[in-house]
Every structure is written in C-alpha cells, then in structure tokens.
C-alpha cells in the first residue's frame, strides 16, 4: 500500500480504498479472530477486489 501511495496516489485510489476497507474489517473483527466463520471473508473480499482491479488495469 505504501508503494501505491508513493508512486501515484490518484491512480491507485480505488485499490487503496479496498485495502483500507480490509484493514477496517480486520480491526472490527479482531486480527486474532479472522479464522472464525465469516470474518475471513469480510477481510479477504476487499483484497480480492484489489487483485481484480490490477487485472483490469495492467498499466498500473
């Protein structure tokens, strides 16, 4: 995330927001409790969106 912010924060605004959401979800559910049912999905979904975004934006 630091690399995205340093390189071009405007270009990477969408994936940065997804990473921020994953961080918020991890904080909400507790980082030590991510293995519980549903908690892992709440954090992994925004991260999957980051991967999808980079797949759609190969120039980034």
Q: Indicate the pTM of the whole model.
A: 0.81
pLDDT of residue 36: 82
Q: What is the pLDDT of residue 5?
A: 78
Other Cβ atoms less than 10 A from the Cβ of 26: the count is: 18
CA distances from 43 to 6, 17, 46 (A): 24, 13, 6
pLDDT for the residue 46: 96
pLDDT reported for residue 60: 72
What confidence score (pLDDT) does residue 55 get? 93
The list of the chain residues with pLDDT below 70 reads none
Residues 6+ apart with CB under 8 A from 29: 36, 39, 42, 43
Which pLDDT belongs to residue 17? 94
């Amino acid at each position: 995330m630091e690399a995205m912010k340093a390189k071009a924060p405007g270009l990477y605004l969408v994936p940065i927001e997804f990473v921020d959401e994953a961080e918020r979800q991890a904080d909400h559910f507790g980082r030590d409790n991510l293995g519980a049912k549903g908690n892992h999905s709440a954090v992994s979904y925004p991260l999957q969106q980051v991967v999808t975004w980079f797949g759609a934006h190969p120039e980034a």
